[in-house]
Structure 1
Amino acid sequence: MEKVTLMCAALAAASLTGCAGLNADVHTANPSAGLQGDPTYTITRLPSQDASGDHPQFESLLRDELAKRGFVAAAGNGAHYLLSIAYDTQPAVVGIGGKDCAPSDCGKADAPFALFGGTAYQHSLTLRFFERTSGEERYKVRAVIADRDADPLHAMPVLVTSALAKFPFDASSDWRVKLKQDKAGGVPSVISVKPLQ
């Protein structure tokens, strides 16, 4: 699901009938390895993230949400896990295909065009937990949404909530998270989490 097609999510942003609601697609890796042991972590940064004005806000929201799930931020060698954060915003890619269409054969088209009054953007957030002592990846989760807002900070609460909607997610690797946006514009609430067939 690394190449995610988000036609329904993009159309939901345009308020079309039949695709109502706020949805995120979530993909997990290594769920069987799980996050066992001491629930402490420290966030690792790339040099570009040190210079980013957005990154501290992502980290702050993640720390708050991880704390609700029993994870504690720890300094350096006191952490069991190293947490890597990657996020991206780009014009959405729209997938075209039928029920007999293999993923590699389905037509895909870049969609930088105006979609019902605005360009569709795809936002993604990837969290990777590595065991600090061995360096082995123990858990990876990627959340993807589409909307008509190019600002990644506006997508951040939805991405974080979706990525941590189940923590950790179970054995199925692909999920659909349905959310409800808070009227005050804060962290959205999760309505349902279902595996994709």
Structure 2
Amino acid sequence: MAKVTLMCAALVATSLTACAGLNADVHIANAAAALQGEPTYAIARLPSQDASADHPQFEALLREELARRGFVEVAGKPAHYLLSIAYDTRPRAIGVGADVGDCSPGDCPKPGVPFSLFGARTCQHSLTLRFFEPASGDERYKVSAVIADRDADPSHAMPLLVKSALAKFPFDAPPNWRVKLQQDNASGVPTVISVKPLQP
């Protein structure tokens, strides 16, 4: 009985590592007409983000990654895109029977019987970036990244989410992707290892 219990615990730990460890699920919309035109943007903030102590750090990470891809934030003059940033961290129920390899974006691992592994609650972190055309208000591109881990601090997840959401910029069809990352133990900076489409 003890041997079976240890095997089950090992399987659960392996599943959590495989799905939550350094993997993110990414979903995109409007890829066909994604981000054509001048690569300039301005960030549209919510009042709650203006008051958030963490938000400037999140914006700094995004600015850095977007600059690497040729996008420039403009101030005092019209931008080609308005960028909306939304992020969320919430507790998540984990199912022992979850099939990690087949979990879909925003649903990894699949919810089942809730339990706490070694007393740690699993959290789901998400980041959504939306690019709008200022004149018309039309959404031109939307990308969402989701990871799960046992750290409730969203600032720890944000570098992984930003790297994942911008791993291919812009992502094209299909709409669902799996991004694998590796985190440097010394610097804590994540790097993208692979970007693969998820099979329907």
TM-score normalized by the length of structure 2: 0.81
Q: Indicate how the Cα distance of structure 1 residues 121 and 35 shifts in structure 2: closer, same or farther if over 3 A, else same.
A: same
Equivalent residue for 1:114, pick from 105, 109, 116: 116
Cα root mean square deviation, aligned: 2.5
Take 2:151 and 2:185, find their aligned partners in 1: how far apart are those partners? 18
Task: Tell me if structure 2 keeps the 8 A contact 1:161–1:187.
Answer: no
> Residue 131 of structure 2 aligns with which residue?
129
Q: Which residue of 2 aligns with 1:86?
A: 86
Alpha-carbon spacing, 1:16–1:135, altered in 2? closer, same or farther (3 Å): same
Q: Deviations over 1:23-62 (max 9, x none)?
A: 0000001001110000000000010111000111000000
Distance of 1:17 and 1:131 partners within structure 2: 41
Match of 2:170 in 1: 168
Q: Which has the larger radius of gyration?
A: 2
- What is the deviation of 1:185? 4.0
Q: Which runs of 5+ in 2 are unaligned?
A: 1-8, 105-109
Higher strand share: 1
Aligned: 1:46 with 2:63: no
Alignment of 1:117-196 (within 5 A): 117-196=119-198
Please say if residues 98 and 112 of structure 2, whose CA atoms lie closer than 8 Å, have aligned partners that are also in contact: no
2:4 corresponds in structure 1 to none
Q: CA deviation at 1:17?
A: 6.5
Q: How many residues align?
A: 178
> What are the within-5 Å matches in structure 2 for residues 43-82 of structure 1?
43-75=43-75, 77-82=77-82
Letter in 1 for 2:182: K
CA drift of 1:15 comes to: 4.6
Deviates more, 1:125-134 or 1:20-29: 20-29
Moved more, 17-26 or 179-188: 17-26
- Structure number with the higher helix fraction is 2
SS of 1:154's partner is helix
Query: Sequence identity, in percent?
Result: 70
Secondary structure in structure 2 of the residue aligned to 1:78:
coil
Deviation at 1:18, TM superposition (A): 8.9
